[in-house]
Amino acid sequence: MTPTAPAAQPPLQQGRNDSERMVPRWRVAALIGRRPLLSFVVLACLLSWWPAALYAVDASPLPIASFGPFLAALVVLALTGGRAAVWTLLRSMVAWRVPRRAYLLAIGLPLAFSGGAVMANLAWGAEPVDGGLATWTAIPATALFVLLIPGVGGAWEEPGFRGFALPRLEQRFGAMTGPLVLGVLWVLWHAPLFLVGQILWTDVLTIVAASVVIAAVFHTARESVLVVMIMHATNNAVGGSYASQLFDGADQARLGTLTAIAWWAGAAAVLITMKRSSGTAARSGDSGESLGEPE
């Protein structure tokens, strides 16, 4: 006896099953759409911290993947703004037509802050390691390497933290508080590096201050992510690969404190300037005048 073939599923029932299978995906998209900033922070950590398991068994030199925030931004933008939002971020990563002073600040500030901290440490009596001072010649190549290769240094954090998160935090908390909030989140993201001792605990202060300074450069550069990637790469090459390797022990700890002070001096200058500008704008508004209008 020939077995009877099973009856075909009605098209309506099949469509309903397909829809049910799609529900979880739409729920995830809806959740990210309601909480894009929170979703970005969570995804940035998840997509960055996975090398910690490899680091624990000596299979990775770092316990963190620096391109995680970039990937997190792409995911959130794709689900909330679609292809257009993703392309806006990608175009900002190659936006090089910006005021020249933006490039001067992006390269000059890390050099000034780290260089000043090194000189102050030497004046304090710190002893550099043998041959350490002469390795400054590797700084340009290191900066270029960090800029171009995802995962090598911190430059590829910038599309996520400055390109995606900063504008949204400034919209929610204001131009002064937004970068500070981002600085705290940025410290949280660095947690694996703190826990394994690859960066100093004084870097908590440095990171928050750097968040304020980088935000100012970002706006000077007309929101070009490329410029702040250059700034981050320069700081990694000067501060991380050079200055921090010059000293050890107490001298290295002192350098960390001096570096934090240098960055906070820059952050204070930014915040004071912004406060004065907002006060001037408020007074102009109260008097019924506009700074942008002729008398």
Chain segment 148-164, per-residue pLDDT in tens: 998 888 999 999 999 99
Q: Please report whether residue 50 resides in a domain.
A: no
**241 within some domain:** yes
Look up the pTM and report it: 0.86
Average pLDDT over residues 8-36: 60
pLDDT of residue 286: 55
- Specify the number of domains making up the chain: 1
Cα–Cα distances (Å) from 15 to 10, 18, 19, 89, in that order, read 9, 5, 6, 36
Instruction: Note the pLDDT of residue 118.
Output: 97
pLDDT at 285: 61
Burial tier of 252 (Cβ tally within 10 Å: 0-12, 13-18, 19+): middle
- pLDDT band at residue 279 under the 50/70/90 scheme: confident
State how far the Cα of 54 lies from the Cα of 50, in Å rounded to an integer: 8
Mean pLDDT of the chain: 89
User: How many whole angstroms from its chain centre is CA 132?
Assistant: 29
| Residue 273 CB contacts under 8 Å (≥ 6 apart), including other chains | none
Query: Is 1's pLDDT higher than 80?
Result: no
User: How large is the average pLDDT for residues 199-219?
Assistant: 97
CA angle 17, 21, 25 (to 5 degrees): 150
pLDDT score at 198: 92
pLDDT at 40 over 80: yes
- Predicted pLDDT of residue 284: 65
**Which of 18-27, 166-175, 206-215 is predicted with the least confidence, judged by mean pLDDT?**
18-27
- Taking only the tens place, the pLDDT of each residue in 220-257 is 999 999 999 999 999 999 999 999 999 999 999 999 99
Residue 22 domain flag: no
Task: Say if 36 falls within a structural domain.
Answer: no
The per-residue pLDDT for 31 is: 80
Q: What is the pLDDT of residue 16?
A: 47
Identify which of 115, 106, 130 has the alpha carbon closest to the alpha carbon of residue 255: 115
Q: Provide the pLDDT for residue 94.
A: 97
Q: Which of 30-34, 139-143, 190-194 has the lowest mean pLDDT?
A: 30-34
pLDDT at 25: 58
Q: Which pLDDT tens digit goes with each residue over 97-145?
A: 999 999 999 999 999 999 999 999 999 999 999 888 888 999 999 999 9
Task: Report the pLDDT value the prediction gives residue 294, as an integer from 0 to 100.
Answer: 33
pLDDT of residue 290: 36
State residue 132's pLDDT score. 84
Beta strands in the chain (DSSP E): none
Quote the domain boundaries for residue 225: 98-278
- Note the pLDDT tens digit of each residue in 87-109: 999 999 999 999 999 999 999 99
